[in-house]
Amino acid sequence: MDNKQFNILLVVGGTTLAMAIAGYMFGMPYYRVWSQEMRGKAALAEAEQDRQIMIEEAKANLEAQRLNAEAEVERAKGMAEAIEIEAGKLTDAYIKYLWVRNMETNENLEKIYIPTEANLPILEAREQ
């Protein structure tokens, strides 16, 4: 390579380098603005999605509460009918029967069985 070709290569390389530096200097601020705008749009979309999720969860919670309230009303109606059928005469024996039946269906209660003569559990402890 002779001196003339080297000089041309040096000028072309220097010009290319100068253009790259100038492009970086002028383009970088615009890129930062664009990048910040994109981050803002992404954050806005995420916030909107989070808001929609919260709204749907609140709607589901409201519906669950409404259904629980309806179930509670139906349970109260059933209890009222049961009391009406019994004509308000809840005997001690029937209350004990309900208590034993509740023990069979409720798994959270600790059950202690004490054998007696009639093989019935002792429901009340009295001091003598």
What's the pLDDT tens digit per position in 8-63?
888 888 999 899 888 888 888 888 888 999 999 999 999 999 999 999 999 999 99
Q: What is the dihedral of CA 51, 54, 55, 58, to 10 degrees?
A: -160
Assess if residue 120 is contained within a domain: no
Residue pair 124/96 in contact (Cβ under 8 Å)? The answer is no
Look up residue 62 and give its two tokens: 């409201």
List the domain range (segments joined by +) for residue 7: 3-105
Cα separation of 45 and 52, whole Å?
A: 11
The whole-model pTM stands at 0.43
Assess if residue 68 is contained within a domain: yes
Report the number of distinct structural domains present in the chain. Answer: 1
Assess if residue 116 is contained within a domain: no
Assess if residue 92 is contained within a domain: yes
